[in-house]
Structures are given as structure tokens and as C-alpha cells.
């Protein structure tokens, strides 16, 4: 933060977001000292904003009870961060059922000064992405927020769920976590109806009702790892098993978590995957820098030979041999 006014506005935002903060806590967040914090609070009081100071060991600063500022006060950097967030959410398919992004942008534009509104509008209209947009099924806002709250509070919820076969069920679940993956929202947790760990697409959940029961998730449970592992075991034509002779950590960084599962073995890293086409699997394996051994299927060997033949032909082809 380079300008004192920016720090004063940030101080106001911190006081609105927290019931009470000590002078030391505020100084640390504003990257300044306690004396300057006292001066900034005096500036806010001069503007008619009732900042209360509590003295003593457990004292601190807070806004007067019941006081509310106008709904939006953004610096240039904060406004840009919000607009970029809306753009990214739209691009990644992270929107909810309501046209929330368009509504949020319209509200931001109404309260911003003209000097900031025009550059942000230009950003919205001209920014391009190298990745293709993701088109996903948007969940209901209330359903998504209710599942997130239950996951954090570790409380059981009742859900109304409709399967891809259009079968409707009522069930209780313990939501261990909410995950966004490739354009869709999922909740991972214990399903009381099936008495097992399950994954549900949130756009197929029509309602969420809190229960009085609480739960404790398994120690070290990772909702993202479980989801990607589950999706990697979907119904594909080919079951692939390959031993890659290299370090697990580096191999894991090179391969998509949603497509493979990796297990450390004495002879290397055992990769399990499922594939609809073996030529794509051949390309993925060929991109690795470590040697590997195909356990099965044998058809993958032929796919690699075909790829090798294509690469050999490309390496030997001379410019004058190019088709006219």
C-alpha cells in the first residue's frame, strides 16, 4: 500500500470485517506502526465514522455497534481483483444458477467513479484467454452455500437428489468437502442411505436441510484426491497399468490427477488409468522423461509402436518431400 488514503480505507474495511482488532494486529495488516494506526482512526472519526477504542491489555479498536457503511468501498486494485475474479469464474464455469456475475458487475459499475469504471469495462470487453471456456451445469446458490456451511460446521444435512437416470431420492449425508472440478461442483461425504463414501454432483441436488447431528471426517481425508481418483475409475474401454521408473513426486506433477492413480512400488511408480482411446495414452506416456514398462493391455504396445513410426517418419521427412 503506497498511499495513506489507501491504508485508511483498508483500516475501515478491516474494522467492518472484524468485531475487534488490537492496534498491533491492525499495524501488522497495514504494514505500519501502532502510532500511525491511532492517526488513521482519528482520520476516520473526522469523517464521521464512529471508531471506538478500548484501552487495557485486551483493548483494541472497533466500529460502534449497529454502524454500517455503504455497501461497497473499493480501491482500484480491489476493483480489478473483483472484475478479474468474475471473469475467471465465468470462464471456468464456476457460476451459480442465477446470473450472479452480470448482476455483480452491474452493481460494481454503478458505485465506481467514471475514471475507474471505463478501464474496468475495457478489461471486461477485451480480455482473452488461452484456454477454452468450460460449460458446466450451475448449482443453486442456496444449495451450494448450505453444503459449504455444513462441511465447515461438520453437521449432517438432508438432501433431495436426482440421479442421471432421473431417479429421485431423499438421503442424509455428512459433507466432508465441496470441490469444483472441470466445470462442475461436487460434494464428497458419507451417505447414510448407502452407508458408504459417495460423491454427488451439486447441480443434481435440489434442496439441503440441516440436521441436528454432527460428524467427524476421517483423519487426513482429502476430498480433491478422492474425487479425482473416483472420476479416473469411470467407465472406459481400456484398463491401463504401467510401471514408470522414476520419482513419485515428479511423475505426479507431470500427469493429470483426474486421469490416473499413482502408487509407489519397489520397482518404480505403478500407474493405473482408464482410457477410451489408447493413442492418447501413448502420447501421454511418450511425453514422460522416464522409462516405463507396460503391464497391460498389450494393445498399448502397438499404439506406442504406431506413434514411434509416425515420429520416425516425421524426423526423416525432408522439406522437398512435403506435399504440394
Count Cα neighbours of 169 within 13 Å in the Cβ-side half-sphere: 12
Q: Cα–Cα distance between 152 and 150 in angstroms, integer?
A: 5
Q: Cα–Cα distance between 290 and 268 in angstroms, integer?
A: 10
Q: What is the pLDDT of residue 262?
A: 86
Q: Cα–Cα distance between 158 and 149 in angstroms, integer?
A: 13
Q: What would the mean pLDDT of 177-190 be, rounded to a whole number?
A: 88
Q: What would the mean pLDDT of 22-47 be, rounded to a whole number?
A: 88
Q: What is the pLDDT of residue 2?
A: 46
Instruction: Flag whether pLDDT at 14 surpasses 60.
Output: yes
For 170-182, the pLDDT digits (tens) are 999 999 999 988 7
Instruction: Flag whether pLDDT at 75 surpasses 80.
Output: no
Instruction: Flag whether pLDDT at 261 surpasses 50.
Output: yes
User: What DSSP string runs through 238-300?
Assistant: EEEEEEE-S-HHHHHHHS-TTTEEEEEETTEEEEEEEES-HHHHHHHHHT-SS-EEEEE-THH
Instruction: Flag whether pLDDT at 1 surpasses 50.
Output: no
Q: Which residues contact 31 (CB under 8 A, 6 or more apart)?
A: 1
Q: Which residues contact 239 (CB under 8 A, 6 or more apart)?
A: 272, 274, 296, 297
Q: Cα–Cα distance between 286 and 292 in angstroms, integer?
A: 9
Q: What is the pLDDT of residue 66?
A: 74
For 292-317, the pLDDT digits (tens) are 999 999 999 999 999 999 999 888 88
Q: What is the pLDDT of residue 188?
A: 94
Is the overall model pTM greater than 0.75, yes or no?
Answer: no
Label residue 242 by pLDDT band (50, 70, 90): very high
Q: What is the pLDDT of residue 308?
A: 93
C-alpha grid cell, residue 44: 476516520
Lowest mean pLDDT among 17-26, 109-118, 192-201: 109-118
Q: Cα–Cα distance between 113 and 236 in angstroms, integer?
A: 54
Lowest mean pLDDT among 191-205, 228-242, 262-276: 228-242
Q: What would the mean pLDDT of 237-265 be, rounded to a whole number?
A: 85
Amino acid at each position: 500500500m503506497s498511499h495513506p488514503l489507501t491504508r485508511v480505507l483498508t483500516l475501515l474495511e478491516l474494522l467492518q470485517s472484524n468485531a475487534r482488532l488490537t492496534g498491533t494486529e491492525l499495524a501488522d495488516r497495514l504494514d505500519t506502526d501502532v502510532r500511525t494506526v491511532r492517526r488513521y482512526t482519528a482520520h476516520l472519526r473526522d469523517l464521521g465514522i464512529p471508531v471506538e477504542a478500548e484501552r487495557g491489555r485486551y483493548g483494541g479498536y472497533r466500529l460502534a455497534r449497529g454502524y454500517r457503511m455503504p455497501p461497497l468501498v473499493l480501491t482500484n486494485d480491489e476493483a480489478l481483483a473483483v472484475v478479474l475474479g468474475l471473469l475467471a469464474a465465468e470462464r471456468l464455469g464456476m457460476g451459480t444458477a442465477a446470473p450472479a456475475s452480470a448482476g455483480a458487475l452491474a452493481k460494481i459499475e454503478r458505485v465506481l467513479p467514471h475514471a475507474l469504471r471505463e478501464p474496468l469495462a475495457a478489461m471486461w470487453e477485451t480480455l482473452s484467454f488461452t484456454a477454452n471456456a468450460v460449460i458446466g451445469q450451475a448449482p443453486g446458490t442456496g444449495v451450494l452455500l448450505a453444503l459449504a456451511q455444513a462441511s465447515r460446521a461438520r453437521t449432517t444435512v438432508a438432501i433431495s437428489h436426482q440421479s442421471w437416470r432421473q431417479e429421485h431420492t431423499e438421503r442424509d449425508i455428512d459433507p466432508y468437502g465441496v470441490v469444483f472440478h472441470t466445470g462442475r461442483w461436487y460434494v464428497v461425504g458419507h451417505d447414510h442411505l448407502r452407508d458408504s463414501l459417495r460423491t454427488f454432483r451439486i447441480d443434481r441436488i435440489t434442496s439441503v436441510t440441516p440436521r441436528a447431528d454432527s460428524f467427524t471426517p476421517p483423519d487426513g481425508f482429502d476430498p480433491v484426491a478422492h474425487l479425482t481418483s473416483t472420476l479416473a475409475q469411470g467407465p472406459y474401454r481400456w484398463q491401463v497399468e504401467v510401471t514408470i521408473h522414476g520419482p513419485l513426486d515428479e511423475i505426479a506433477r507431470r500427469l493429470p490427477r483426474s486421469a490416473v492413480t499413482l502408487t509407489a512400488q519397489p520397482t518404480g511408480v505403478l500407474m493405473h488409468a482408464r482410457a477410451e482411446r489408447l493413442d492418447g495414452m501413448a502420447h501421454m506416456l511418450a511425453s514422460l522423461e522416464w522409462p516405463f514398462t507396460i503391464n497391460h493391455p498389450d494393445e498399448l504396445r502397438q499404439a506406442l509402436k504406431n506413434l514411434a513410426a509416425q515420429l520416425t517418419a516425421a524426423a526423416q521427412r525432408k522439406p522437398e518431400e512435403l506435399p504440394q
